Amino acid sequence: MAATAATLRETLSTIVGDAQVLVDEDAVAPYLVDARQRFRGRASAVVRPGSTDEVAAVVRACARAGITVVVQGGNTGLCGGATPDASGRSIVISLARMRRVREVDAANATLTVEGGVTLAAVQAAADAAGLRFPLSLASEGSCTIGGNIATNAGGTAVLRYGNTRAQVLGLEVVLADGRVWNGLRALRKDNTGYDMKQLFIGSEGTLGIVTAAVLALVPPPRERATALAAVPGLAQAVLLLSRLKDALGSRLTGFELMSDVAVGLSRKHHPDLPDPLPGCPWYALIQADSSVAGPALAADVEGALAEAVSVGVAGDATVAASAEQARRLWALRENISEAQRREGPNVKHDIALPASAIPAFVASCGGALAAAFPDARLVVFGHLGDGNLHYNVAAAPGVPAETLMRRAADINRIVYDEVTVRGGTISAEHGIGQLKREALARYRGPLELELMRRVKDALDPQGIFNPGKVLADAVRA
């Protein structure tokens, strides 16, 4: 085995150059732990190819040697999908050197980029072309477009633009046998057989390596309105969402929900942040954009909110008077995760439900958790516009977090059972990785799991891509 590993290492060095095959413990260490430091693994090497041909040659060499491959982008994933397992038998392929913008076609509003380009760099390339790439995540400075595609990332503008899937027109993918599928088509209509790219989007590195993508761009916003509304209950929050959709149509970009506990934590750790509407159990952070310049957008947002307040759907509302005020309102939302991290570990859930089912879910799940875990407190926030809640269960102040963390499996069971009963999902935007593999097996039916397994076996019959992620490893003869 040692001889095989040494031979493979030599082959990899021949393909990418000695300097791009990392084996030194310190150099390899950052690739072996996930963003939340929840998962740690081992790897025989980290390889950093610089081109699609090099990725393909590395995969071919691994397939020949029976070595498994974990592909990594920015390593910001929240489910341990990019962390190798503990066996040490895998190599990690990092796409950090594949950062080329291959083509900008402003007339077609498309961009062709390599898989290792960061999301922020994609956004900058779109801006430079006078257009916009609408995907937006708090991790955008580090996460890569390959990782966004592999996780079908969501974020704060899904209400208007859809998930990553909706922004991808074409893909280039290195397959499990090292062949390269060139599906880099810049087309908005293409019903020519099965739409193969859809299989790779959201496949979390288990079916192929995304080495390049054609992305759809949109016109840049010329007007923006940001507002905060205080809402007395979740039923009213859902009604407010419907009213704003009605009044603003596709100009409604984001509708983020925050509980008072979530806002309180954000402000506790950033006391300079505003508290414009104190004393309400829920808050909606609203963003609307228009590509048409003029006062209509602000007037429509103000009018819709004033009506909502007049009928009691919102208690009060405030519209940001400047870009700086808007930034500070957004900071309330964007600092929640970081504030929670500083408070200590908590049991996180990235769930989605039909918006109409959310009030009943929160009431009933909150009741079940309070009965079973009186020492817990809920930190609820998320993208209500997409039915996506970050439903986090933390220890109440003064209670050691470990008490609760030890019972994470019981907490998950209550939350996921409640979600499933109401037609929801256990993973809205972060994926499955290794964190939710058992939950996926539990909450998706046997036929759906069999279909997933057949897709995996068809595209990766040797099981070389990302073992132990999404699906349990197949038992192979």
Ligand X SMILES: Cc1cc2nc3c(=O)[nH]c(=O)nc-3n(C[C@H](O)[C@H](O)[C@H](O)COP(=O)(O)OP(=O)(O)OC[C@H]3O[C@@H](n4cnc5c(N)ncnc54)[C@H](O)[C@@H]3O)c2cc1C
- Sites of contact with ligand X (CB under 6 A): 35, 70-78, 81-82, 95, 115, 137-139, 143-144, 146-148, 150-151, 153-155, 204-205, 209-210, 337, 429-430, 433, 466, 469
Provide the minimum distance between the beta carbon of 468 and ligand X in the complex, in angstroms, as a whole number.
11
Provide the minimum distance between the beta carbon of 417 and ligand X in the complex, in angstroms, as a whole number.
24
Residue 107: exposure state from Cβ atoms within 10 A (0-12, 13-18, ≥19): exposed
The residue among 5, 13, 3, 45 whose CA lies nearest residue 27 is 45
C-alpha span between 132 and 125 (Å, rounded): 9
SS3 annotation, 373-400: CCCEEEEEEEEHHHCEEEEEEEECCCCC
Provide the minimum distance between the beta carbon of 208 and ligand X in the complex, in angstroms, as a whole number.
7
C-alpha span between 62 and 65 (Å, rounded): 5
Complex with ligand X: residue 138 or 309, whichever CB lies closer: 138
Contact 202, 173 (CB under 8 A): no
Complex with ligand X: residue 88 or 312, whichever CB lies closer: 88
Sequence-ordered alpha helix ranges (H) in 66-217: 119-128, 145-151, 158-161, 197-200
Complex with ligand X: residue 178 or 276, whichever CB lies closer: 178
- Characterise 75 by phi-psi region: left (phi > 0), alpha (psi -120 to 50), beta (else): left
Q: Which residue has the tokens 């020492």?
A: 375
Provide the minimum distance between the beta carbon of 155 and ligand X in the complex, in angstroms, as a whole number.
4
C-alpha span between 75 and 135 (Å, rounded): 18
Provide the minimum distance between the beta carbon of 77 and ligand X in the complex, in angstroms, as a whole number.
3
For 475, the token pair is 């038992």
Provide the minimum distance between the beta carbon of 277 and ligand X in the complex, in angstroms, as a whole number.
24
Contact 82, 36 (CB under 8 A): no
Measure CA 187 to chain center. 25
Provide the minimum distance between the beta carbon of 151 and ligand X in the complex, in angstroms, as a whole number.
4
Complex with ligand X: residue 101 or 235, whichever CB lies closer: 101
For 369, the token pair is 């958790």
Contact 426, 351 (CB under 8 A): yes
Provide the minimum distance between the beta carbon of 215 and ligand X in the complex, in angstroms, as a whole number.
14
Complex with ligand X: residue 140 or 300, whichever CB lies closer: 140
Residue number, nearest CB to ligand X: 147
C-alpha span between 161 and 133 (Å, rounded): 10
Complex with ligand X: residue 149 or 419, whichever CB lies closer: 149
Complex with ligand X: residue 230 or 437, whichever CB lies closer: 437
Contact 221, 291 (CB under 8 A): yes
C-alpha span between 367 and 371 (Å, rounded): 6
Complex with ligand X: residue 188 or 327, whichever CB lies closer: 327
Complex with ligand X: residue 52 or 236, whichever CB lies closer: 52
Provide the minimum distance between the beta carbon of 272 and ligand X in the complex, in angstroms, as a whole number.
20
C-alpha span between 157 and 252 (Å, rounded): 9
Q: Which residue has the tokens 């419907």?
A: 242
